[in-house]
Amino acid sequence: MKKYLTILLVALMATGCVNDDTDFSHLIDGGSSQPDQEVITPIDIALDFSALDEADDVVPTDETDETYNDYEENTAWSYTINVAYDGNEVTLSGNTSRVRYTVTDGHVVIQSTSNRVHYVLSGQSDNGSFKIYSENKFKLTLNGLNLTNPTGAAINNQGGKSLYLVLADGTENTLTDGPAYTDVEGEQMKGTLFSEGQVLVSGHGSLVINGNARNGLVSDDYFRFRPGCKVHVTCSTGHGIKANDGIIIDGGVFNIEVSGDGYKGIKCDSTMTINGGRTTILATGGVSITAATDIAPADTSSCAGIKCDYPLTINGGSLLIKATGEGGKGINNTGDITINGGSVQIVTTGIKGLTSPKAIKGDGVLAVNGGYLYSYSSNGSPIDANGGIAVAEGYTTWETKPQRVIISFDTE
């Protein structure tokens, strides 16, 4: 018996001690099967609601300036209509004879052919909205408004002209939608604040957007955000800010949180330019999968801080992005990305799954001509620019590691 036990013991000691993995030592780090990788702890990126010390912008006075009409100060607003919400009741006052309107509970619908009309919205309603059909540009001031529309957009501009959205100085305004929309045939309603025309945001107040059914802030034209405004978008069912024809951020404080699978903090189907302000985006959703059809294969889409289909240019301000979802991107751009100034800090911590996480993914060139770039991806590439990376002369730091790239033109 002892003999058998001894044989068994020896056999046991001899078995099970060797790893049966393929030897990739000739391909991986010159010999170690699992080399120690330098562990880089990324910077912490979190929403930042603190005040930003920024100068007001200069309003162009030359009518030939292509941005002249983006400034509400260049229009003499002749008529003012006050819209005061109070629960299920709404009171309209002022030059109401200039428009036709209906009020149903807390829902106001304006039909306007008048020019130079200024609407001032205030008060609170849990079952209200402001919808407008205007043949001309108009100014919409939010003067302490808290508006929730359970069945659609809180503010819905069906006209294609400019909407000058002014956040009255020092006011806090909140718009909430959903959870279910009741659509009108032939009309679009893509988010909590939806506009067929361009939206030009100014003022020194704050705006909180809660997206519970579709997107947060949507224009089928373009957005311009001016210094002084504070915008906080939270959306679990769509993109935070979405524009068809461009986004210009001249200043302001932006905090954008998107948590749905495949959604973007900012989704811009045209060019995007950041000239100032502080934009912080947290994208935490995973991968969305679109099922295959007869004419198209299945597709996947990961979350991203910014998804832009045309050139993205950063001339100033701060852009901070953190994407934590599977395959999440910081910036995902099909055009060129140019950084001429400001500070761009991106961290992605999502795992590689159906798609690969990348801090910056571009199909064009990433050109860094100034400013500061910090790009980190814990499980993917910090930069993946198909057109290459072009860094102008004069940089003070250009550090490339597997997880992190830092390029700086700071002289301090």
Partner 1 sequence: MNRLIIIALLATLLPLAAWADDDTGLTVGASVEKKFNKQWSMELEGEFRSRNDFRTADRVSLGLSGAYKPLRWLKLDAGYQLLIENNIEKITYNEPTIDAEGHEVISYNNWRPSYWGLRHRVFVSVTGSYKIGRVELSLRERYRYTYRPTKTTTRYDFDNQYWEDTQVKSKSQHILRSRFKVEWDIPKCKVDPWASVEVFNNRMLDKVRYSAGADYSLLKKHTFGVYYRYQRVYNDDEEDNAHYIGVTYKFKF
DSSP letter, residue 2: H
Burial of 227 (0-12, 13-18, 19+ CB in 10 A): buried
Assess 18 for contact with partner 1 (CB under 8 A).
Answer: yes
CB 125 within 8 A of CB 107: no
For the bound state, the minimum distance from the C-beta of residue 403 to partner 1, rounded and expressed in Å, comes to 8
Task: With contacts defined by CB under 8 A, name the span among 23-31, 188-196, 284-292, 388-396 that binds partner 1.
Answer: 23-31
Binding part of the chain for partner 1, among 65-73, 281-289, 314-322, 373-381 by CB under 8 A, reads 373-381
Tell me the window of 16-24, 85-93, 229-237, 361-369 that interacts with partner 1 (CB under 8 A). Answer: 16-24
Q: Write the binding mask 387 to 406 for partner 1: x where contact by CB under 8 A, - elsewhere.
A: ---------------xx---
Interface pick for partner 1 out of 158, 162, 234, 378 (rule CB under 8 A): 378
Q: Of 159, 160, 109, 152, which is closest to residue 130 (Cα–Cα)?
A: 109
Residue type, 318: S
CB of 386 to partner 1, least distance (A): 14
For partner 1, the binding residue among 2, 13, 26, 27 (CB under 8 A) is: 27
CA distance 83 to 85: 7
Burial of residue 62 (number of CB atoms within 10 Å: 0-12, 13-18, 19+): exposed
**Among residues 6, 10, 25, 35, which is the contact residue for partner 1, using CB under 8 A?**
35
**240 vs 87: CA distance, rounded Å:** 27
Is 353 one of the binding residues for partner 1 (CB under 8 A)? yes
* Residue 37 lies near partner 1 (rule: CB under 8 A): yes
Q: What is the DSSP string of 275-289?
A: -SSEEEEEE----EE
In Å, how far from its chain's centre is CA 364? 21
User: Is 15 a binder of partner 1 (CB under 8 A)?
Assistant: yes
In 62-182, where do the E strands start and end? 79-86, 89-94, 100-104, 106-112, 117-125, 128-134, 138-149, 155-157, 163-167, 172-177
Q: How far is the CB of 3 from partner 1 (least distance, A)?
A: 11
Minimum distance, C-beta of residue 380 to partner 1, in the bound complex (Å): 7
Which span sits near partner 1 by CB under 8 A: 13-21, 200-208, 238-246, 279-287? 13-21
257 vs 82: CA distance, rounded Å? 32
Closest approach, Cβ 388 to partner 1, in A, equals 16
Q: Which stretch binds partner 1 (CB under 8 A): 8-16, 68-76, 222-230, 309-317?
A: 8-16
Q: What residues pair up with 370 in beta bridges, in sequence order? A: none
CA–CA separation, 85 vs 378, rounded Å? 48
Stretch of residues binding partner 1 (CB under 8 A), selected from 34-42, 92-100, 128-136, 176-184: 34-42
Query: Segment near partner 1 (CB under 8 A), from 122-130, 295-303, 347-355, 361-369?
Result: 347-355
Taking residues 166 to 195 in sequence order and writing x for each that binds partner 1 by CB under 8 A, - otherwise, the string is: ------------------------------
* # residues contacting partner 1 (CB under 8 A): 29
Residue 341 has which token pair? Answer: 């100034």
Burial class (CB in 10 A: 0-12, 13-18, 19+), 353: middle
Query: Which token pair is 154?
Result: 């809180």
Parallel, antiparallel, or unpaired: how do β-strands 372-377 and 389-391 relate?
unpaired
From 2, 13, 17, 185, residue interacting with partner 1 (rule: CB under 8 A): 17
**116, 161, 204, 352: which one contacts partner 1 (CB under 8 A)?**
352
Interface ranges with partner 1 (CB under 8 A):
4, 8, 11-12, 14-22, 24, 27-28, 33-35, 37, 351-353, 378-381, 402-403
